[in-house]
């Protein structure tokens, strides 16, 4: 069973559908980029995947050990965070908030987990520093470490490189590719950066009213939607040179199907 | 000087006022950090005006204990303001401005139309600026203060990590499975209760100062959430104690004196913050 299976999903606000007939699946180890114009329903889709918003119709099923609150989410930065007095350590630890039940304080396990993720992302030396004094790239690393504390299987990133300088952008993409390939963490990323999407992703989901696309990166590059969208963003030749041959990660399918749950228009969750 | 203090503190009502003042300052400063960071600084102002309106209505209706009317009304207003703020298109600050001015006008109108009191201006003035009310606190009022402070402090200690998560990044907390609405509700209820109590100390026009100044001062100096919360509580308690003592010494209005102390502390902290950054 895939980690996420979207069947004929319709999303929208107050009765107005923004996205219709959305069908796609995400398997463990995939690197899915969600691209599309502004207002095409990308952020609504993210909310639906996180179970913060029920689809108007259709089902979103979670399986292969994944729960909606087990997705590590990296939201876009808010105004509040820009001058928030918090140390890096405090923020990374808050990633454990969903998993430690009713205890009032973080235990040894949560602290070690946070420390391990800070070490892996190379921000241990910053742990006592104030978040608002860090560079954009460092801030994203902090938020990535927090997201990793919340998940074992899947990261969901909303425009993770917007506002970063070019060097930090490359660093961020490098980190994500490494997490994806070495740790087999599924990555779903919403991005405006379609060049990077076709460079790093294994699958592309192009969201818009019509036409729509879901499939592997290679198929996207050949498809009409993909060509039109890419040529608008960058001349086709330079784009192809940027695509390394066959770097798509191998898929690891769990043969053992674990129980999953579905999110439907009724708003309730049913276990399957 | 010590003679004056000894004389004053031999009266139980002065001791009550001192204790209650410090506890109220502690509670409001704890709340303040998260309200200021969430850009809800004006919530205290808005709610205190609602509380003024409710208090006026209670006086007119001749209810024995006005807290019984003021508290529920303020809690309701707080829930309306804090819990619907995100979804509606009528944005937070406009709603707060509307409700607070409306309640203020209604309250004053009620008092003018129906009050039987001979000294109307004095009544209004003490509700707005809390000048004398702190000295008329009864033993029951002080017990309510103590109880509420214990509750607020426990709330903050037990939910500390969750309050941090919700304040720093609501969407992430929600995605991680937290019931964010419940925390908004809790914070709304606690804010309203603190404001109703603080009205007795500082009066409804000056309450916001107790909520925002300690938090803002602490933010000049400290860079971690824990540091800011702790410093804000300590500063607020110190300013309140100093303010009450000075108001006894120079017989100045209690609320205004405490707010002046808070302002002075903010100035000092800003200065110290600038010097340390260099």
Look at residue B214 in the predicted model and tell me its pLDDT.
94
Distance from CA of A71 to the nearest CA of B (A): 7
pLDDT over 70 for what percent of chain A?
Answer: 83
The CATH homologous superfamily for domain B2-273 is ABC transporter involved in vitamin B12 uptake, BtuC (1.10.3470.10)
Residue of A nearest to B180 (CA): A52
Q: Has residue B184 got a pLDDT over 70?
A: yes
pLDDT band at A248 (very low <50, low <70, confident <90, very high): very low
How many residues belong to chain A?
272
> Which chain B residue has its CA at the smallest distance from A87's CA?
B224
pLDDT (tens digit, 9 = 90+) per residue, B122-149?
A: 777 777 776 655 666 677 778 888 888 8
Cβ pair B131, B121 in contact under 8 A? no
CA B271 centroid distance within chain: 25
| Mean pLDDT, chain A, whole residue set | 79
- Cα distances from B2 to residues A24, A59, A224, B245, B248, in angstroms, run 78, 75, 88, 11, 11
Interface predicted TM-score (ipTM) of this complex, two decimals? 0.81
Would you place residue A110 in the very low, low, confident or very high pLDDT band (cuts 50, 70, 90)? Answer: confident
Could you tell me the pLDDT band of residue A68, with boundaries at 50, 70 and 90?
low
Q: Mean pLDDT of all residues in chain B?
A: 83
Q: How far apart are CA A221 and CA A2, in angstroms?
A: 24
Residue B26 has pLDDT above 60, yes or no: yes
Flag the least confident range among A178-192, A194-208, A232-246.
Answer: A232-246
Contact A50 B222 (CB under 8 A): no
Most confident region among B58-72, B87-101, B218-232 by mean pLDDT: B218-232
Q: How far apart are CA B134 and CA B137, in angstroms?
A: 6
Give dist(CA A261, CA B86) in Å, integer: 29
Query: What pLDDT is stored for residue A91 in this prediction?
Result: 92
Tell me if residue B204 falls in helix, strand or coil.
coil
**Is the N-terminal amide bond of A211 cis, ω within 30° of 0?**
yes
When pLDDT is cut at 50, 70 and 90, the band that residue B215 belongs to is: very high
| Three-state secondary structure string covering chain A | CCCEEEEEEEEEECCEEEEEEEEEEECCCCEEEEECCCCCCHHHHHHHHCCCCCCCEEEEEECCCCCHHHEEEECCCCHHHHCCCCEHHHHHHHHHHHCCCCCCCCCHHHHHHHHHHHHHCCCHHHCCCEHHHCCHHHHHHHHHHHHHHCCCCEEEEECCCCCCCHHHHHHHHHHHHHHHHHCCCEEEEECCCHHHHHHHCCEEEECCCCCCEEEEHHHHHHCHHHHHHHHHHCCHHHHHHHCCCCCCCCCCCCCCCCCCEEEECCCCEEEC
- Give the model's pLDDT for residue A238: 47
Tell me whether A19 touches chain B (CB under 8 Å): no
Planar angle of CA A167, A171, A175, nearest 5 degrees = 175
Q: Are strands A16-26 and A154-158 parallel, antiparallel or unpaired?
A: unpaired
d(CA A50, CA B186): 24
Minimum mean pLDDT range among A6-15, A245-254, B34-43? A245-254
B87 touches chain A (CB under 8 A): no
What is the pTM assigned to this prediction? Answer: 0.82
Confidence category of residue B231, pLDDT binned at 50, 70, 90: very high
Q: Which residue has the higher pLDDT, A236 or A201?
A: A201
Nearest to A81 among B168, B175, B225 (CB): B168
Greatest mean pLDDT among A33-42, A137-146, B135-144:
A137-146
- Give pLDDT, residue B239: 94
* Contacts A–B by Cβ distance under 8 A: 92
Is there a contact between B168 and A69 if contact means CB atoms under 8 Å apart? no
Interface with chain B: mutation pick from A94, A140, A144, highest number of B CBs within 10 Å? A94
> Stretch B17-22: mean pLDDT, rounded?
85
Put the strands of the sheet holding A269-271 in their side by side order: A16-26, A4-13, A57-62, A261-264, A269-271
Is the CB of residue A45 less than 8 Å away from at least one CB of chain B?
Answer: no
Task: Choose the mutation target among A49, A95, A97, A126 for the interface with B, i.e. most B CBs under 10 Å.
Answer: A97
């Amino acid at each position: 069973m895939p980690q996420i299976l979207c069947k004929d999903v319709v999303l929208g606000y107050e009765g107005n559908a923004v996205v219709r007939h959305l069908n796609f699946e995400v398997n463990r180890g995939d690197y899915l980029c969600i691209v599309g114009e502004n207002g095409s329903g990308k952020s609504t889709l993210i909310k639906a995947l996180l179970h913060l918003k029920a689809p108007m119709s259709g089902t979103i099923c979670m399986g292969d050990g994944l729960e909606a609150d087990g997705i590590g989410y990296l939201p876009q930065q808010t105004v509040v965070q820009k001058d928030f007095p918090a140390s890096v350590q405090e923020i990374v630890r808050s990633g454990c908030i969903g998993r430690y039940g009713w205890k009032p304080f973080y235990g040894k396990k949560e602290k070690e987990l946070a420390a391990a993720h800070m070490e892996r992302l190379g921000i241990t030396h910053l742990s006592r520093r104030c978040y608002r004094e860090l560079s954009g790239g460092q801030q994203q690393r902090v938020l990535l470490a927090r997201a990793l504390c919340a998940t074992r299987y899947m990261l969901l990133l909303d425009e993770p490189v917007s506002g970063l300088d070019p060097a930090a952008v490359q660093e961020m993409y490098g980190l994500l590719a490494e997490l994806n390939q070495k740790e087999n963490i599924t990555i779903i990323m919403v991005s405006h950066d379609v060049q990077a999407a076709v460079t790093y992703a294994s699958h592309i989901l192009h969201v818009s009213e019509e036409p729509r696309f879901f499939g592997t990166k290679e198929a996207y590059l050949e498809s009409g939607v993909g060509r039109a969208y890419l040529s608008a963003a960058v001349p086709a030749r330079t784009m192809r040179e940027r695509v390394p041959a066959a770097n798509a990660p191998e898929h690891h399918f769990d043969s053992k199907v674990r129980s999953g749950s579905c999110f439907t228009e009724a708003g309730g969750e049913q276990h399957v | 000087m010590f003679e004056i203090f000894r004389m004053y503190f031999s009266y139980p009502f002065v001791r009550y006022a001192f204790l209650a003042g410090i506890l109220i300052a502690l509670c409001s400063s704890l709340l303040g950090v998260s309200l200021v960071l969430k850009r809800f600084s004006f919530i205290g102002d808005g709610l205190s005006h609602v509380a003024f309106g409710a208090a006026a209505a209670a006086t007119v209706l001749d209810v024995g204990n006005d807290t019984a009317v003021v508290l529920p009304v303020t809690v309701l207003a707080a829930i309306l303001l804090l819990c619907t703020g995100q979804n509606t298109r009528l944005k937070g600050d406009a709603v707060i401005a509307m409700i607070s001015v409306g309640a203020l006008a209604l309250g004053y109108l009620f008092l003018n139309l129906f009050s039987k009191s001979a000294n109307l201006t004095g009544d209004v003035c003490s509700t707005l600026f809390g000048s004398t009310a702190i000295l008329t606190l009864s033993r029951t009022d002080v017990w309510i203060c103590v109880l509420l402070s214990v509750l607020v402090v426990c709330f903050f200690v037990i939910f500390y990590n969750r309050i941090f998560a919700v304040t720093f990044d609501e969407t992430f907390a929600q995605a991680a499975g937290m019931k964010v609405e419940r925390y908004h509700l809790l914070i709304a209820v606690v804010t309203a209760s603190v404001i109703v109590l603080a009205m007795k100390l500082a009066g409804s026009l000056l309450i916001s100062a107790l909520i925002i100044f300690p938090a803002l001062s602490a933010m000049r100096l400290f860079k971690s959430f824990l540091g800011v919360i702790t410093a804000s509580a300590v500063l607020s308690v110190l300013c309140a104690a100093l303010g009450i003592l000075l108001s006894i010494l120079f017989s100045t209005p209690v609320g205004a004196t405490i707010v002046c102390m808070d302002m002075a502390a903010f100035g000092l902290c800003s200065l110290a913050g600038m010097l340390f950054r260099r």
